[in-house]
Amino acid sequence: MQGRLSPLYNNKIQSFPKYHWRNEFKKIRELKINMMEWTLDHKEIIKNPINTIEGKKEIVDLKNKYKIDINSLTGDCFMQKPFWKQKGKKKDKLINIFKQVLQNSSKIGVKKIILPLVDNGSVKNNQQLKILISTLKKFIPILKKNKQEILFELNFNPTKALSFIKKFDKNYFGINYDIGNSSSLGFQSKDEIKTYGNFIKNVHIKDRHFKGTTVRLGKGDADFHEVFINLKKIKYNGNFILQTARAKKGQHKKEISINLNYLKKWFY
């Protein structure tokens, strides 16, 4: 996850590393990782390099230089300012931003847009749900042209998650499965993956305590053995994105190495 190898900005565990994003390409390659998920915040979104001509060119050049794929984008901006909770011109402006993100991200190779329906982005009533569904379905022509997908990060129980995702065309919509979020909510990964596993198209690797915050892999309540066994059963072959806890003393590269080492038993 972009930003995990940079100093914390405004003390946030996750944000776009505006002063350090270029340096992360080299650090990722040094860790022998070949993929990055872009992080997009609403604040200064127009200035984000993904939304400028010069920025997109620089991103592509860095991708090629360090052989790093940017296949997905986590849209924290949509969680911070959800269009499905606005009306009138405010809603129209946010929808237009959503469209721009789809178009611009496709130019750097992004195929999966993560839409977090958690925290401030949680859908609270049927009206918000109707706005969300009707708006997103209008973007199917763009998704088809760009060969992109919108993947929802959900805080629903397995049955509700399945009911929700079935409202969308599977060719263009799916689920981003967040291991840590599920453990914090007390969900059983076996039940989740069995229920809606065929809709999972991206996985965030994270550990959290039940009803608690993000911690180093293996220190929380996530049952990684069960998760990976069940993902294997459904023949999941998508990406795994490290969205792990931050280093306490600024040793971000070391923290990622520790987490990578923890995962070796399942991935190597």
Do the domain assignments include residue 12?
A: no
Q: Where are the beta strands (DSSP E) in 128-215?
A: 149-154, 173-178, 200-205, 207-208, 214-215
**Pick the residue with more confidence: 74 or 249?**
74
Residue 224 has what pLDDT? 97
Do the domain assignments include residue 9?
A: no
Number of domains in the chain: 1
pLDDT in tens, 92-128: 999 999 999 999 999 999 999 999 999 999 999 999 9
Do the domain assignments include residue 246?
A: yes
Least Cα distance to 38 among 7, 63, 11 occurs for: 63
Do the domain assignments include residue 76?
A: yes
Give the C-alpha separation, 109 to 75, whole Å.
15
Do the domain assignments include residue 7?
A: no
Question: What's the pTM value of the predicted model, to 2 decimals?
Answer: 0.96
Q: Residue 136 is part of a domain; what is its CATH number?
A: 3.20.20.150
Do the domain assignments include residue 41?
A: yes
Residue 65 pLDDT grade (very low, low, confident, very high; cuts 50, 70, 90): very high
pLDDT in tens, 175-225: 999 999 999 999 999 999 999 999 999 999 999 999 999 999 999 999 999
Give the C-alpha separation, 213 to 154, whole Å.
17
Do the domain assignments include residue 57?
A: yes
Do the domain assignments include residue 192?
A: yes
Report helix, strand or coil for 106.
helix
Domain that holds residue 75: 21-263
Q: Where are the beta strands (DSSP E) in the chain?
A: 35-39, 69-74, 112-117, 149-154, 173-178, 200-205, 207-208, 214-215, 239-242
pLDDT over 90 percentage in the chain: 96
Residue 248 has what pLDDT? 83
